[in-house]
Amino acid sequence: MRKEQVEAKFSTVTPSNPPVGTAYCLEAQNAASTALVSRCFDLTFQNYETGKSTNVDGFNLMLPYPPGVARIVLKKGATELAVRPVSAHAPVVNVLLPNGGETWAASGAYTITWTASDLDGGPLTYSVRALQPRWDELGPSLDCGHGHATGGQRG
**CA pair distance 137, 35, nearest whole angstrom:** 31
pLDDT at 83: 92
Which pLDDT score is estimated for 121?
A: 79
Confidence at residue 12, expressed as pLDDT on a 0 to 100 scale: 52
Q: For residue 133, give Cα distances in angstroms to 12, 106, 107, 145.
A: 11, 11, 14, 26
In single-letter form, the type of residue at position 93 comes to V
Asked if 26 and 82 touch (Cβ cutoff 8 Å), the reply is no
Q: How far apart are CA 58 and CA 76, in angstroms?
A: 14
14 dihedral zone (left: phi>0; alpha: psi -120 to 50; beta): beta
Q: What is the pLDDT of residue 36?
A: 95
Q: Which residues, other chains included, contact 133 with Cβ-Cβ below 8 Å and sequence gap of 6+?
A: none
Write out the chain's pLDDT in tens, 155 residues.
333 333 334 445 555 667 788 999 999 999 999 999 999 998 888 887 888 998 887 777 878 888 899 999 999 999 999 998 888 777 888 888 888 888 877 777 777 788 888 888 777 777 776 655 554 555 544 444 554 444 443 33
Q: What is the pLDDT of residue 15?
A: 54
Going from the C-alpha of 126 to that of each of 13, 57, 82, 123, the distances in angstroms are 25, 24, 21, 10
Predicted pLDDT at 100: 81
14 DSSP 8-state letter: P
Domain ranges for the chain: 20-85, 92-151
Integer-rounded Cα radius of gyration of the chain: 19
pLDDT of the residue at 118: 82
What's the one-letter identity of residue 45?
F
User: Phi and psi dihedrals of 112, rounded to 5?
Assistant: -120, 130
